[in-house]
Amino acid sequence: MQDLGIVEFLIHLIGLDIGWLFYLLLNNLPWLFAYAGIMHIFLGGKIKNTIYGTIVISIYMWTISDFVGVLGLIVFVGNLLILFYMGKFTVLTVAESSPNLKKNLLIINETQGWLTIIFFNLGIFAIFGMGF
């Protein structure tokens, strides 16, 4: 069984293991600064939005990397990437044009990504069964 980093993080967070959390933070500084830089550019440079976006993208990337290995999901194949990015383009275009949806653009973006991966893998499973 593969180790789930997000579950281990939650256990240490609930247990208030400050040493382990500090160790995790220091060992992931390049990723943290990369995500913060990307979110600063994409979300307009406001510090509140940058922090919020960095937390959301970090959790999203962490859960993707953990659950893809555990569940055996297919992620990096041509057909999925085409659906993934075309879906992102469509969903984000619709969400940007609606004032109500524009406030939650980051969450909509991440939800669309997860749903595309899940439905693609369910489709592959339905077509090819257990032996793909």
Pick from 46, 39, 45: which is nearest to 61 by CA? 39
Co-location of 83 and 42 in the same domain? no
For 50-82, write each residue's pLDDT tens digit.
Answer: 898 888 888 888 887 777 777 777 676 777 777
Q: Indicate the pTM of the whole model.
A: 0.65
Q: Please say whether the beta carbons of 25 and 15 come within 8 A.
A: no
3-class SS of residue 76: coil
Cα three-residue angle 69-70-75, rounded to 5 degrees: 40
* Statement to judge: residues 68 and 23 lie in one domain: yes
Tell whether the model's pLDDT for residue 96 goes beyond 90.
Answer: no
- Shared domain for 30 and 61, answered yes or no, is yes
Q: How confident is the model at residue 18 (pLDDT cuts 50, 70, 90)?
A: very high
Residue 27 tokens read as 């060992």
**Six-digit token pair at 97?**
């044009």
Same domain, 20 and 67: yes
Instruction: Give yes or no: residues 119 and 68 share one domain.
Output: no
Mark whether 67 and 108 lie in a shared domain: no
pLDDT number for residue 1: 41
pLDDT at 2 over 70: no
**Is the same domain home to 3 and 52?**
yes
Residues 45 and 98 in one domain: no
Q: Which of residues 30, 55, 72 is at a domain's end?
A: 72
Residue 79, domain extent: 74-132
pLDDT score for 125: 73
Number of structural domains (the chain) is 2
Examine the domain organization and report whether 40 and 104 are in the same domain. no
Q: Does residue 68 sit in the same domain as residue 84? A: no
In percent, how much of the chain has pLDDT > 90?
5
Q: Which of 72, 98, 118 is the C-terminal boundary of a domain?
A: 72
Q: Same domain, yes or no, for 84 and 67? A: no
Neighbour-count burial for 114-126, b at 16+ CB within 10 Å, e otherwise = eebbeebbeebee
Q: pLDDT: is 121 or 1 the higher one?
A: 121
